[in-house]
């Protein structure tokens, strides 16, 4: 079974290398993800298909880029600090991740916005 560190690295690699297929085997069937927008609570996505579809579209978008600022993994949790760049916009944020049995089961996104 993949470690939390391996799962989070593969998750980040999907966005860094524009390889959305890397997401296919690391997302849990009951995954819950909350996006950073719209404020104040974002959108909640539930289930494998909803989460993977959202992340695939983000990873494939040629106008979106993520710079990793820091990644901390401890046991079954991870914190990913990032900077998102799109044409005319830049946002700093963090994802709080939970991994069980080698799959992402929760991903909560928070962002700093002007």
Phi-psi region for residue 104, left (φ > 0), alpha (ψ -120 to 50) or beta? beta
pLDDT tens digit sequence for 1-56: 999 999 999 999 999 999 999 999 999 999 999 999 998 889 999 999 999 999 99
Q: Report the pLDDT value the prediction gives residue 114, as an integer from 0 to 100.
A: 66
**pLDDT score at 40:** 86
* Cα–Cα dist 16/94, whole Å: 16
CA nearest to 107, candidates 61, 40, 50, 66? 50
The 3-state DSSP class for residue 41 equals: coil
CATH class held by domain 4-112: alpha beta
φ and ψ at 14, to 5 degrees?
A: -60, -40
* Average pLDDT estimate for 82-88: 95
The pTM is what?
0.95
pLDDT at 72: 98
| Structural domain boundaries in the chain | 4-112
């Amino acid at each position: 079974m993949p470690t939390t560190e391996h799962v989070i690295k593969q998750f980040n690699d999907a966005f860094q290398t524009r390889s959305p297929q890397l997401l296919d085997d690391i997302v849990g069937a009951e995954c819950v993800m909350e996006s950073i927008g719209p404020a104040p609570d974002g959108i909640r996505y539930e289930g494998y298909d909803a989460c993977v579809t959202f992340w695939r579209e983000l990873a494939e978008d040629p106008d979106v880029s993520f710079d990793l600022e820091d990644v901390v993994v401890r046991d079954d949790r991870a914190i990913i600090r990032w900077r998102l760049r799109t044409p005319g916009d830049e946002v700093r944020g963090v994802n709080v991740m939970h991994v069980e049995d080698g799959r992402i089961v929760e991903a909560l996104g928070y962002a700093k916005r002007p």
